[in-house]
């Protein structure tokens, strides 16, 4: 079954730096609010109930700059053109929106699930009134991804770093740790046009969680997110190199973080850029960028599988694919479509059709859609700061469009500035049918 690459277009690029009109500027948008050099990173896409596409992307002066913040973009033509609607933080913060959205959700959950009035640690969690300013007055750079829930509402989850010194990078060179920060969540009840204020998610561990992907909604109704702990500013990692499963039973209003979804046999691999999907009911699979932070060495992508909604997990399985940031979607039966950023040997963005029968990883088809022939970016022994500086593309993802196409998204540095690039894909038949045409 071939993977067809039908073409590519741009979601965001700096029009001043590209010399080419960008599709995102096909309609008026607030260009004056963009930073002077407009790099875009870390796209997250979702299909709204209307059929329109919602994108969250980070715009900043550079990869680690303190002005990094999440912006909202929208497409009404399946991703061919886009409107940039503004920073997510400026579309949030109106308390009447927060009340109408969150109170409605709580009322709904009490009616459906018998959930009592919220007295959880989350109910008392502080509101980040603006992603620019935290409660202590310092700036926060924020990174969030969207998920459309079955009730039509949208949740965005992610994390941010405190930027006490705007000139400092995210990685602390002297220790190998990262800046302190917070994990947070926000909701929209009007298809992403307005959002509740960011709410911090309390953690039971001292490290900031790298919640770099969207949460998923299980058939059971639970929401799950997967994360790895960043190292503390002093370079320590008291929780160990583990994958943390975050679970919400009330549509994202509160979260628990005691469960572990990934632990390597040697305890040496941190599961960065973790992504999760549900296959048939109860069966989950997560894929990770397996990185030995102590040795500064990359390992092939690993997966773990659960058959009980994430309560227990298999031992990590080495896929043999030397990818880093990766993602996956379920095609039905035992088949997955996966996407991987290769940045060591043979760099590129690769898409693969995988058979997971018996929880074994079998590649059926693969194709490169971007970046082949580019120079090696990551090498053994690099510090995390050196690795960040070397990256030229990454964080690929896949979504299914209503008409059956597949849309891939990733960031890429081209002509000195980072842009968001999209690719349209199609597949042949799966199990005698054609789910994606």
- Global confidence as pTM: 0.88
Nearest to 193 by CA among 34, 73, 41, 33: 73
Please, where are the H alpha helices in 207-272?
none
What pLDDT does residue 93 have? 65
In angstroms, the CA 61 to CA 55 distance is 19
What pLDDT does residue 43 have? 97
Q: Domain ranges in the chain? A: 8-320
Copy the structure tokens of residue 398: 């896949």
> In this structure, what DSSP letter does residue 152 have?
S
The CA–CA distances, whole Å, from 84 to 80, 163, 309 equal: 13, 25, 36
Residues (pLDDT < 70) of the chain are 15-37, 93-100, 102-138, 375-377, 379, 381-382, 384-385, 387-388, 429-437
In angstroms, the CA 288 to CA 88 distance is 27
In angstroms, the CA 22 to CA 57 distance is 15
Tens digit of each residue's pLDDT (9 = 90 or more) over 87-96: 999 988 655 5
Beta-carbon-side half-sphere exposure of residue 163 (alpha carbons within 13 Å): 20
Cβ atoms of 146 and 156 within 8 Å: the answer is yes
SS3 89: helix
Cβ atoms of 159 and 92 within 8 Å: the answer is no
What pLDDT does residue 384 have? 67
Q: Where are the beta strands (DSSP E) in 149-283?
A: 154-163, 181-188, 198-200, 209-210, 216-217, 223-229, 242-248, 256-263, 270-278
In angstroms, the CA 419 to CA 424 distance is 17
SS3 417: strand
Copy the structure tokens of residue 98: 């927060």
Cβ atoms of 181 and 140 within 8 Å: the answer is yes
Angle at 190 between CA 131 and CA 279, to 5 degrees: 90
> In this structure, what DSSP letter does residue 356 have?
-
Question: How is domain 8-320 classified at the architecture level of CATH?
Answer: 6 Propeller (2.120)
Angle at 57 between CA 54 and CA 59, to 5 degrees: 140
């Amino acid at each position: 079954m071939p993977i067809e690459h039908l073409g590519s277009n741009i979601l965001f690029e700096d029009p001043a730096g590209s010399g080419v009109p960008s599709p995102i500027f096909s309609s008026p948008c607030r260009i004056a609010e963009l930073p002077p050099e407009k790099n875009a990173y870390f796209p997250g896409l979702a299909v709204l109930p209307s059929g329109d596409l919602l994108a969250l992307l980070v715009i900043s002066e550079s990869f680690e700059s303190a002005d990094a913040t999440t912006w909202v973009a929208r497409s009404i033509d399946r991703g061919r053109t886009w409107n940039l609607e503004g920073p997510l933080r400026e579309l949030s913060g109106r308390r009447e929106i927060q009340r109408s959205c969150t109170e409605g959700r709580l009322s709904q959950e009490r009616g459906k699930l018998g959930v009592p009035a919220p007295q959880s640690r989350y109910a008392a969690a502080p509101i980040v009134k603006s992603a620019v300013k935290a409660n202590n007055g310092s700036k926060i750079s924020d990174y969030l991804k969207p998920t459309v829930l079955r009730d039509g509402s949208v949740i965005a989850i992610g994390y941010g770093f405190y930027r006490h010194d705007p000139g400092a990078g995210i990685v602390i060179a002297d220790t190998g740790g990262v800046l302190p920060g917070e994990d947070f969540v926000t909701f929209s009840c009007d298809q992403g046009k307005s959002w509740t204020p960011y709410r911090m998610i309390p953690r039971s561990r001292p490290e900031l969680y790298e919640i770099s992907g969207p949460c998923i909604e299980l058939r059971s109704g639970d929401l799950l997110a997967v994360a790895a702990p960043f190292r503390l500013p002093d370079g320590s990692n008291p929780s160990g190199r583990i994958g943390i499963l975050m679970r919400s039973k009330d549509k994202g209003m509160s979260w628990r973080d005691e469960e572990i979804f990934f632990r390597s046999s040697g305890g040496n691999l941190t599961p960065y850029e973790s992504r999760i999907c549900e296959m048939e009911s109860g069966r989950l699979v997560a894929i990770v960028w397996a990185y030995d932070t102590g040795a500064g060495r990359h390992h092939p992508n690993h997966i773990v599988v659960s058959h009980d909604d994430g309560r227990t997990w298999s031992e990590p399985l080495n896929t043999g694919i030397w990818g880093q940031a990766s993602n996956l979607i379920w095609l039905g039966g035992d088949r997955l479509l996966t996407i991987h950023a290769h940045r060591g040997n043979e760099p590129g963005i690769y898409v693969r059709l995988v058979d997971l029968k018996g929880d074994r990883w079998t590649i059926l088809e693969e194709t490169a859609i971007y970046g082949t022939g580019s120079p090696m970016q990551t090498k053994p022994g690099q510090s995390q700061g050196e690795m960040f500086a070397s990256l030229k593309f990454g964080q690929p993802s896949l979504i299914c469009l209503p008409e059956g196409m597949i849309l891939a998204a990733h960031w890429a540095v081209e002509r000195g500035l980072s842009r968001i690039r999209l690719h349209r894909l199609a597949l042949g038949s799966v199990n005698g049918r054609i789910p994606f045409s």
